[in-house]
Structure 1
Amino acid sequence: MDFGLDETQREIAELTAAVLAKETDPGQSWRALADAGLLALALPAELGGDGLGVAEVAMVLTEVGRAAGSVPALPALAALGLGVLPLNRLGSPEQRAALLPGVAAGETLLTAAVHEPSNPFTTRPGTTAVTDGGVWRLSGTKIAVPHADTAARILVPASLPTGTGIFLVDPAADGVACTATHTSGGGTEHSVRLDGVVATEAELLTDSRPGEAIAVLHRYALAAAVALGDGALAGALELTTRHVASREQFGRPLAAFQAVAQQIADVYITSRTLHLAALSAVWRLSAGLDPGQDLEVAAYWLAEEAPKALASCHHLHGGLGVDVTYPLHRYYGLVKDLGRFTGGAADRLAALGERVAG
């Protein structure tokens, strides 16, 4: 098992970092990534993509997280982790051709509704799909859906009479109501209510065996979240390290004080642990293996330990850390939102316990 990045992955990470460092307008950063071809990595060659996979997409997400102090990160989670990766795996050629090129061009977004009230990452959705005169009618409520109101399609898991399925729902369709909800980082997120929304078989993703589609969606969603979180924590660590190395008190840099050195070391340990767990989970996914415990460990670490590390970064910055003109609060907000997106530490710990227990 070699977690070292290959040449292609290193070049993708370096290019993403360079693009985000050059683009000073947050509103144009998404288009800049598209112009560099970084949103088309996972698309098949016939759609103008590079035919790469989750490991390469994770490189982009990690660098977006690292730059989250100056660029929006939730669009990347929505479009790549909740849209491109699962649709590329589960969608028909017609579905992929209709939706993926727009995302690669930076013109549209995709997203997914993986949470329901008090039931994150549910494998038995309360949202239902029933047949009615040759079509499906979807009803239910989803929460914490990134960019639901502006997405070209929302991937919506629903319970069918024979199991579960995932539908491509147009947020502008009759019966869909999107209500904006608050986030820690100020990103766009919605609750989505479905009331008899009509869907056809052409809008149902492929499920070759019972439960496969929803399991694939959940894996990609969690992998995208931990990759973003890995980058965000690393970015906050870099920012804090520079601060304590340059800020002086009593004629000495803050980093020279033992208490400060110990705290920044704890943040480093948390960051490296999350990085290793995220890298291991993504490696297993890219190899076609069940990410199993690795993905749950990474998600738990993101939800439980990463916010504590960001609190230490704030403490080491003093009053500067809460200045709205300083980027640290954006890292903190993103990490809090991602931890919540995973379902929270208790939920992820319970999922890990189930994995360990078999």
Structure 2
Amino acid sequence: MDFTLDATRAEIAALTADVLARDPEHAWQALAKAGLLALALPEELGGDGLGPAEVAVVLTEAGRAGAQVPALAALALGVLPLNRMGSPEQRARWLPEIASGEVVVTAAPHEPSRPFAAEPSTEAVAVDGGWALTGTKTLVPSLAQARCVLVPATLPWGPGVFLVDPRAEGAEVHGTSLRLSGVRVGEADLLRDGSLADLRRFTLAGAVALGDGAVAGALALTTAHVRQREQFGRPLATFQAVAQQIADVYIASRTLHLAALSAVWRLDEGLDADEDLAIAAYWLAEEAPKALAVCHHLHGGLGVDITYPLHRHYGLVKELAALTGGASERLDRLGDLVEA
């Protein structure tokens, strides 16, 4: 199958790369101004009516640049699930503000030791015509910046997803963890179609797209370094051991790229994407951190210098591997699919 970007997606990739390169310090507002945060918004809300595939292109370029922007949270965990599961009122309330770059909306699919819990231990209890939420969420992307969090919880009839203000009374933010103690929300804060499976799919798709770019960016930095850096009067790239290690990183990068493209394509086409997402997420969690470790090794001390961008790629891959649930969790989920 040909996964070459079509003209629209190629233009999105080029524009994203250009915006991130021109103004790294104000990248988020620059992305918003260029319309890149509005790609998946419905046309009636000022967007382009595009989907996960175009969002994934933006995320991949953000990862390639090692950009320090809340793109994963706002786009994959905010715009996509809100657009799919939100009511017209919820979409109108939040999507334009996300697209403007003024607001970050994220999601909290994980609980302590329970990634992507199908039956959340976070409970929603009916109180005075609304709901009181109690529970703990972990590894919430961009939580410190978020104005709203999509919170899965168990209602009397099953799981649902609520829109929660992380600054509300009874909510406590500790790093990337959100603790809820009787946080009050209204009926209007319950998503119309709160599918935890859809939230998981968008989270994994966003993670593998961003991770694809992060590994590719680290590989580009490393190949440039070993071509320029000399040892014993020769470029490092001419040493056989170095060439073999670069080849290993290249294979890991290209495999993740193919797996991510396949998974996102299926999701975008409305096909069953679970198997492809599981494969891509496992490769991200298991192989991407190893590839970044090799990149660090080939850079020597330069790789851990905070003035050099490689540490951003490394940190991003580490966070994404955790967001997937980790390599063991992803391997277990692959096993479940094989048994099924």
Does the TM-score normalized on the shorter chain lie above 0.5?
yes
1:206 is matched with 192
- The equivalent of 2:217 in structure 1 is 235
Aligned position for 1:336: 318
What CA distance in whole angstroms lies between the structure 2 residues aligned with 1:320 and 1:179?
A: 32
Distance across 1 between alignment mates of 2:305 and 2:165: 39
Q: Answer yes or no: is the 8 Å Cα contact 2:201–2:274 preserved in 1.
A: no
Cα 1:46–1:2 change in 2 (3 A) is same
Q: Where does residue 80 of structure 1 map in the other structure?
A: 75
CA distance in 2, matches of 1:199, 1:107: 23
Cα distance, 1:336 vs. partner?
0.6
1:12 and 1:284 map into 2 onto residues whose CA distance is 20
Q: State the shift of 1:152 in Å.
A: 2.0
**SS of aligned partner of 1:141:** strand
User: One-letter code of the match for 1:133?
Assistant: D
Q: Deviations over 1:60-106 (max 9, x none)?
A: 000000001xx204x11110111000001100111000001011011
| Matched letter for residue 335 of structure 2 | G
Structure 1 residue 252, shift from structure 2 partner? 1.5
**Residue 217 of structure 1: aligned partner:** 199
| TM-superposed deviation, 1:146 | 2.0
For residue 168 of structure 1, give the secondary structure of its aligned residue in structure 2.
strand
Pairing 1:184-333 to 2, within 5 Å after superposition: 190-207=176-193, 213-333=195-315
1:54 aligns with 2:52: yes
1 CA distance for matches of 2:4 and 2:267? 15
Give, in whole Å, the separation in 2 of the partners of 1:146 and 1:218: 14
Q: Please, which runs of 5 or more residues in structure 1 have no aligned partner?
A: 181-189
CA–CA separation in structure 1 for the residues paired with 2:21 and 2:183: 42
Could you tell me how far apart the structure 2 residues matched to 1:347 and 1:357 are? 15
Contact 2:216-2:253 within 8 A present in 1 as well = yes
User: Is the CA contact 1:243–1:317 (under 8 Å) kept in the aligned structure 2?
Assistant: yes
Q: Check conservation: 1:206, 1:213, Cα contact below 8 A.
A: no
Distance between the aligned counterparts of 1:227 and 1:116, measured in 2? 23
Cα deviation per residue 1:40-71 (whole Å; 9 max; x = unaligned)?
A: 00000011000000000000000000001xx2
Deviates more, 1:261-270 or 1:166-175: 166-175
CA-to-aligned-CA distance 1:220-262 (integer Å, 9 cap, x gap): 0010011000000000000000011111112221111111110
Higher mean alpha-carbon deviation, 235-244 vs 247-256, is at: 247-256
On the 8 A contact 2:63/2:213 being kept in 1, the answer is yes
**How many angstroms does 1:148 deviate by?**
2.3
Q: Name the % identity.
A: 68
Q: Which range moved further: 37-46 or 192-201?
A: 192-201
Which range is displaced more, 37-46 or 241-250?
241-250
CA distance in 1: counterparts of 2:5 and 2:308, whole angstroms: 32
Give the Å deviation of 1:324: 1.9
What CA deviation, in whole Å up to 9, does each residue of 1:153-177 have, x standing for no partner? 1000001111100000011211111
Aligned residues: 340
TM-score normalised by length of structure 2: 0.98
Please name the residue that 2:17 is paired with.
17
Q: What is the CA-CA distance between 1:357 and the residue it aligns to?
A: 1.2
The DSSP-based 3-state class of the residue aligned with 1:60 is: helix
CA contact (8 A) 1:150 1:171 kept: no
Distance 2:183 2:311 in 1: 39
1:133, distance to aligned residue in structure 2 (A): 2.5
Residue 100 of structure 1 aligns with which residue? Answer: 95
Unaligned 5+ segments in structure 2 are none
1:147 deviation in Å? 2.5
SS of 1:118 mapped into structure 2: coil
- Superposition deviation, residue 132 in structure 1: 1.9
TM-score normalized by structure 1? 0.93
1:219 maps to amino acid: R
CA RMSD of aligned residues (A): 1.0
- Which residue pairs with 1:123 in the alignment? 118
**Aligned partner of residue 181 in structure 2, secondary structure:** strand
For 2:10, give the aligned amino acid. R
d(CA) in 1 for partners of 2:228, 2:163 = 51
Cα deviation, residue 24, structure 1: 3.6
- TM-fit CA distance, 1:199: 1.5
